[in-house]
């Protein structure tokens, strides 16, 4: 391969539990494999965006996982897999499989701006596993049961029109999951503050990523008024947090034509 310059631009804050390292590794693997002609460039003339074949995505994911190992030591592979394939994935006993047609869920994504290290947090959990094996095993079993129930509810929501009852169950599961994660040792005072502020506005939140700071997500029910969402965002930002409205689930790694990029993205890249 000839020498080359690689320009990286991201809206994802690093070290916040949003999988920024996985997104970086997936994009880097896809770009290098395409430049080396190990995989074909799927973008045709006149197309704004395209994706690689399933076989090529497998290779991209494989190399991205190697990059994640360099950064995190012993990662699960979930972050690079979801960055590659998009949508929603099930991770169980080391096996990763996609969820079929997950419903679009609106959330608030809040960055506490408290830096954390996935490797450090994983070591903390491992230490508790050695110190309290029976307690930690019970916690992990309960978290698994919460995940299974959540998947069942999401399946119902995907099969038919989501009902208010579905959101009520998801809110309960979010609360239970957050309490369990605190017990595992991956919580943080900033995340507790996030949950308390959201709860004061009738909303339910949990950490995302490795925890220990970083980011949390808040479920937005479809019956919420825009003013209620704005009031919650203002309350969260008053504590110094950054807050965005977004959706869970998106396409995985893609290749875009330069003309298809948003103006803000093109301006940012031009400035590098």
Q: List the catalytic residues.
A: 21, 79
208: phi then psi, degrees, rounded to nearest 5: -135, 150
- Tell me the β-bridge partners of 217: 109, 206
In the DSSP assignment, the letter for residue 256 is: E
Query: If you count them, how many residues does the chain have?
Result: 272
Please give the angle made by the CA atoms of 174, 233 and 173, to the nearest 5 degrees.
5
Task: With CA atoms as reference, report the closest residue to 96 among 105, 106, 104, 88.
Answer: 88
Cβ count near 122 (within 10 Å): 17
Sequence-distant contacts of 224-233: CB under 8 A, at least 24 apart: 228/201, 228/202, 229/108, 231/201, 232/108, 232/197, 232/198, 232/201, 232/203, 233/108
Task: With CA atoms as reference, report the closest residue to 194 among 139, 238, 138, 236.
Answer: 236
Task: With CA atoms as reference, report the closest residue to 65 among 90, 119, 116, 28.
Answer: 28
249 with 200: CB under 8 angstroms?
Answer: no
Q: What is the DSSP string of 34-89?
A: HHTTSS---PPTT-SEE---HHHHHHHHHHHHHHHHHHHSS--SHHHHHHHHBS-E
């Amino acid at each position: 391969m000839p020498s080359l310059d690689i320009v990286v631009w991201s809206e994802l804050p690093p070290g916040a539990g949003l999988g920024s390292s996985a997104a970086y590794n997936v994009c880097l693997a896809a770009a290098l494999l395409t430049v080396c002609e190990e995989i074909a460039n799927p973008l045709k003339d006149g197309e704004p965006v395209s994706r690689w074949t399933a076989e090529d995505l497998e290779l991209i994911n494989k190399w991205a996982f190697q990059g994640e190992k360099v950064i995190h030591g012993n990662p699960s592979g979930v972050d690079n897999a979801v960055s590659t394939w998009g949508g929603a994935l099930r991770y169980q006993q080391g096996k990763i499989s996609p969820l079929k047609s997950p419903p679009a869920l609106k959330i608030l994504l809040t960055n506490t701006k408290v830096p954390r290290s996935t490797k450090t947090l994983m070591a903390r959990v491992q230490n508790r596993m050695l110190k309290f094996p029976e307690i930690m095993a019970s916690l992990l079993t309960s978290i698994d049961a919460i995940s299974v129930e959540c998947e069942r509810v999401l399946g119902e929501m995907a099969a038919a029109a989501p009902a208010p009852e579905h959101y009520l169950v998801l809110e309960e599961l979010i609360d239970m999951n957050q309490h369990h994660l605190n017990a595992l040792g991956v919580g943080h005072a900033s995340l507790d503050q996030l949950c308390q502020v959201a709860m004061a506005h009738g909303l339910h939140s949990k950490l995302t990523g490795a925890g220990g700071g970083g980011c949390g997500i808040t479920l937005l029910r479809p019956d919420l008024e825009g003013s209620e969402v704005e009031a919650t965002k203002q309350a969260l930002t008053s504590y110094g947090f950054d807050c965005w409205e977004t959706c869970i689930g998106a396409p995985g790694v893609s290749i875009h034509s330069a003309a298809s990029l948003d103006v803000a993205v093109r301006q940012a890249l031009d400035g590098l």
